Amino acid sequence: MKEWAIRNETLVKVLYILCMVFCILGYVSSPVALVGGFLFSYFLGNPFITLNSKAVNWLLKIAVVGLGFGMNLKETLAAGKDGFLLTIFSISITLILGYFLGRLLKMNRKSSHLISSGTAICGGSAIAAVAPVINASEKDISISLGVIFLLNSIALIIFPPLGHLFGLSQHQFGLWCAIAIHDTSSVVGAAYTFGEEALKVATTVKLARALWIIPLSILSVFLFKGKGKSVKVPYFIFLFILAIILNSYMPIPEFLTHGITSISKSLLVLTLFLIGAGLSIEKIKSAGWKPMILGFLLWIFISVSSLLVIMAL
């Protein structure tokens, strides 16, 4: 019996690694990778669950920095300028609306603030940055992450078809993704599915948006009267900017930059598979209905309002 269990565990590990290889080789699209990871974990379990979150964290950063080698500085600045005012408006209104909806639902104030922060800026990264400065409990953090992660997964799957349905251009869709989808991984994954230009716009605007984690964390310190708490700065964003500058002004061979961006896109698909494999029914259930309602209402608001503004521009 014990020998059979060991063989079974080994088989699951081999299958898991094979799925990862298929993702890296480009046989799997972003949405399929995410859903496939979830289904694999649901039916067979995740054989590397302890390493999963660390791998996701590092792979996403490496992939994003690598994508910088496929971008031009002038085009990047133009995309960032287009999304600046929309970013300020969407972040401010989401945080304000989240506060009042949280009170209306009689939610834990810290949980509602974490969900609002994750929706307003960049999902799990914002939650991870804000949680320490407001002394959020492990339960508050896990509930918020569960809500954001579920909505992220849905957005990755439905946004590309909706973009085509509404006749959005590559630029419009990239901007919409950056504003309306929570985590950077899902933003880049959805934009990658839609097209090359959408990917460039979405990555640039989303990472510029992620820098708002810093003022949000400082504001959270005052709102919750936290003292002596450090603010986590997403330093990999500066490496992304450096990659864009190097690609714009250094005579790097095209085959090299093309190779780096291709590998980065493959790593992104692998990251989405690992994210899906880290999601469980238990995490979704633990969130409860109030946080889920708050997260859903905020997400619908930011998605619809930003889409209307982008289509009107």
To the nearest whole number, what is the mean pLDDT of the chain? 84
Rounded to 5 degrees, φ, ψ at 299 are: -65, -45
**Is the Cα torsion angle 195, 196, 197, 201 positive or negative in sign?**
positive
Model confidence over 206-248: pLDDT tens digits?
A: 877 877 877 887 788 778 875 555 556 667 778 888 988 898 8
Across the range 269-287, mean pLDDT stands at 76
Residue 276: pLDDT over 60: yes
To the question of pTM greater than 0.85 for the whole model, the response is no
The predicted pLDDT at position 138 comes to: 66
DSSP conformational letter for 235: T
Measured distance CA(294)–CA(277) in Å, rounded: 25
Tens-digit pLDDT profile for residues 48-67: 888 887 888 788 788 878 88
pLDDT-derived band at 284 (thresholds 50, 70, 90) equals low
The answer to whether the CB of 267 falls within 8 A of the CB of 20 is no
For tokens 């986590």, name the residue: 232
* 5 pLDDT above the threshold of 50: no
Rounded average pLDDT over 35-42: 88
- Choose the weakest-confidence range: 79-93, 94-108, 156-170: 79-93
Give the model's pLDDT for residue 198. Answer: 93
**Whether the predicted pLDDT of 25 surpasses 50:** yes
Domain that holds residue 133: 2-312
Q: Residues in the chain, how many?
A: 313
Domain count, the chain: 1
